[in-house]
Amino acid sequence: MIKNQKWYWLVALLAAWLFDFLFWEKASGISFTLWVFVMLAGGYVLGALEGKKPHRLSILLTVLIMGFSLVMAVRNEPFTRAVSVLLTFSGMMLLVATFLNGYWPWYRLRDYFLEMLKVIGGGFSGAILLNSRSKTIPSVDGSVKPSAWRRVLPILRGLLIALPIVAVLSVLLSSADPIFGDWIKRVLDLDKIPEYLFRFFYIAIIAAFLVGVYLKALQPAGEVEKPSPDSPAVKPFLGWTESGIILGAVDLLFLAFVFIQVRYLFGGVNNITETGYTYAEYARRGFGELVAVAVLSLGLYVVLSSITRMTSKAAKTGFTVLSILLMVNVMVILASSLQRILLYENAYGFSKLRTYANIGIYWLAALIVVVVLLELLKKRGWFGLALMITLVGFGATLALVNVDGFIVKRNVERARAGEELDVAYLNTLSSDAVPQLLNFYQDETLPMDVTRQVGAALACRVKITDDPAEMPWQGYNFSQARAYRLLQENADSWSQYTIKQAYPGWVVEIDGEEIPCEDFSLAELD
């Protein structure tokens, strides 16, 4: 029974209106962090009004959610921000699903997906079911008194019907009387009425969805049993013989591949010389395929461990041995993938995609190690939690490492050692790169030609970094604000560089060569 129906709508409408206020035609920055905070705070307030306390593990999940939401206000590197947003929303759905019980660490892999789908479904259906689940209030004479929301609902319906009618009549009257029309224009911009109507309706839709989400978190349907990771997600139906043949065949394939291709896998530069491949061809030819093999093999293990009947000790032992052998082969394949990327980086320097790949491979390898341990301990059902921790670790690493700053550091150090510095690529990096670029520019031990190239990259940033003071506060980003401040504090240093406007942006001139200040070509990111 819902005690405070009207508060659900008030909190949801506030969050929906705030969504419009923070994001409509505005860049995302501190606004995302603020909106997530309001969403979470609204849930805790409603819980307090209903007399329901969150589980302590829900509080831990809340801290993680806020941490990832803060990345939007701190970092400016697009992929890092995208991963953080994805993890923020995923965490919020888990929080809704387990707000009162804190069961999320005990979920199996299937449970994570199903519960997130239930949250989405609950958001769409919850507002419709709100009235049927609300508490009625008896009057003094014993009759049933409608809830506050039931009394307000006719008013809202009337306003919804009246709004478009008044809008149409206002347009007609404005055309009929110029004085009245001028007054209307001062009060309301008629040209924006379609926009206002659209925003009004999508705010209402968001509010209704959020009501359902809050209901899902605070009004669970019946008693929810604590899940058991050790219980099978599905009833096993595949015999050990079939699974053993599948695992054995894949293991033999991998062993043959590793045995025959050892020289190709780890031969590095020698192989490239003998086969005629370029560094790029060598890395690209195998990296994506080998990572795909590793991921598919991991998925194969998860599926087989869920559907295989293992009734005898011999079957259990055989499955464990073949599975661990599979994981060992996968680790060798991941090592090969890493070797290819490192070779590529040594030859051409560091880029965003190469850095993502580096970080991802290490976390994937850590997941495989955990899978081996879970298999040895006969705790296969905990794979879902292990995968979630891996994804959180990957996202946290991206945020903490500062991908663009890392790329600057490694590429400039290569240039210090005599390798070529790709200034055009440095110009594609976000404002996260500026502090590291400035550190190198002020490093007196850096060769003069490299210093000039770094300075050119910084001079470009002056033209493509907007003044935060001229932007809506909702889009505030610490990285961008810091970059602008540092560039302005050292403005005298950039006067020696020639910056020209060239459609659609700017170019900087170095030794007679014009280098684009901003080039988002995907080819440059490989």
Whether 24 and 149 map to the same domain: the answer is yes
| Nearest to 286, CA basis, from 368, 346, 357 | 357
Euclidean distance between CA atoms 113 and 121, whole angstroms: 12
Q: Return mean pLDDT, the chain.
A: 82
Average pLDDT score over residue span 157-167: 69
User: Which amino acid makes up residue 326?
Assistant: L
Euclidean distance between CA atoms 150 and 154, whole angstroms: 7
pLDDT of 499 > 90? The answer is no
Whether 198 and 319 map to the same domain: the answer is no
**Each residue's pLDDT tens digit, 329-339:** 888 888 878 87
For residue 505, the cross-strand partners are: 502
Q: What percent of the chain has pLDDT over 70?
A: 79
Average pLDDT score over residue span 210-237: 78
Higher pLDDT, 283 or 476: 476
Position 137 scores a pLDDT of 43
Average pLDDT score over residue span 511-525: 60
Answer yes or no: are the C-beta atoms of 283 and 354 closer than 8 Å: no
Whether 30 and 160 map to the same domain: the answer is yes
Among 185, 205, 228, residue at a domain's last position = 228
Position 292 scores a pLDDT of 81
Which helix (DSSP H) or strand (DSSP E) does residue 83 occupy? helix 78-98
- Residue 192 pLDDT level (bands cut at 50, 70, 90): low
- Residue 486 pLDDT level (bands cut at 50, 70, 90): very high
Euclidean distance between CA atoms 243 and 254, whole angstroms: 17
Whether 204 and 325 map to the same domain: the answer is no
Looking at the 3D structure of the chain, how many domains does it have? 3
pLDDT of 135 > 60? The answer is no
Whether 57 and 124 map to the same domain: the answer is yes
Whether 215 and 264 map to the same domain: the answer is no
Structure tokens at 337: 């993938």
User: Which amino acid makes up residue 256?
Assistant: A
Whether 47 and 140 map to the same domain: the answer is yes
Residue 130 maps to a domain: yes
Euclidean distance between CA atoms 481 and 391, whole angstroms: 29
Residue 49 maps to a domain: yes
Whether 364 and 245 map to the same domain: the answer is yes
Euclidean distance between CA atoms 268 and 273, whole angstroms: 9
Among 134-143, 231-240, 408-417, 445-454, the range scoring the smallest mean pLDDT is 134-143
| Nearest to 363, CA basis, from 401, 325, 326 | 401
Can you tell me whether residue 147 is helix, strand or coil? coil
Q: What percent of the chain has pLDDT over 90?
A: 29
Whether 73 and 127 map to the same domain: the answer is yes
Euclidean distance between CA atoms 408 and 102, whole angstroms: 42
User: Which amino acid makes up residue 443?
Assistant: D
Position 64 scores a pLDDT of 96
**Each residue's pLDDT tens digit, 57-111:** 999 999 999 999 999 999 999 999 999 999 999 999 999 999 999 999 999 888 8
Residue 280 maps to a domain: yes
Whether 174 and 53 map to the same domain: the answer is yes
Burial (CB count <10 Å: 0-12, 13-18, 19+), residue 137: exposed
Residue 234 maps to a domain: no
Among 331, 358, 378, residue at a domain's last position = 378
Euclidean distance between CA atoms 71 and 29, whole angstroms: 9
Residue 402 maps to a domain: no
Residue with tokens 């790709």: 422
Residues 6+ apart with CB under 8 A from 255: 329
Can you tell me whether residue 499 is helix, strand or coil? strand
Position 144 scores a pLDDT of 47
pLDDT of 423 > 80? The answer is yes
**Each residue's pLDDT tens digit, 4-58:** 677 888 899 899 999 999 998 888 899 999 999 999 999 999 999 888 899 999 9
Residue 389 maps to a domain: no
**Each residue's pLDDT tens digit, 327-382:** 998 888 888 788 778 877 877 888 888 899 889 999 999 999 999 999 898 888 89
- Residue 127 pLDDT level (bands cut at 50, 70, 90): low
Whether 301 and 192 map to the same domain: the answer is no
Answer yes or no: are the C-beta atoms of 513 and 504 closer than 8 Å: no
Among 163, 195, 228, residue at a domain's last position = 228
Can you tell me whether residue 382 is helix, strand or coil? helix
Structural domain of residue 363, as residue ranges?
240-378
Radius of gyration, alpha carbons of the chain: 29
Whether 224 and 261 map to the same domain: the answer is no
pLDDT of 237 > 70? The answer is yes
Residue 387 maps to a domain: no
For residue 500, the cross-strand partners are: 507
Burial (CB count <10 Å: 0-12, 13-18, 19+), residue 266: middle
Burial (CB count <10 Å: 0-12, 13-18, 19+), residue 341: buried
SS3 percent helix, strand, coil of the chain, rounded to 5, is 75, 5, 20
Residue with tokens 């993502």: 356
Residue 447 maps to a domain: yes
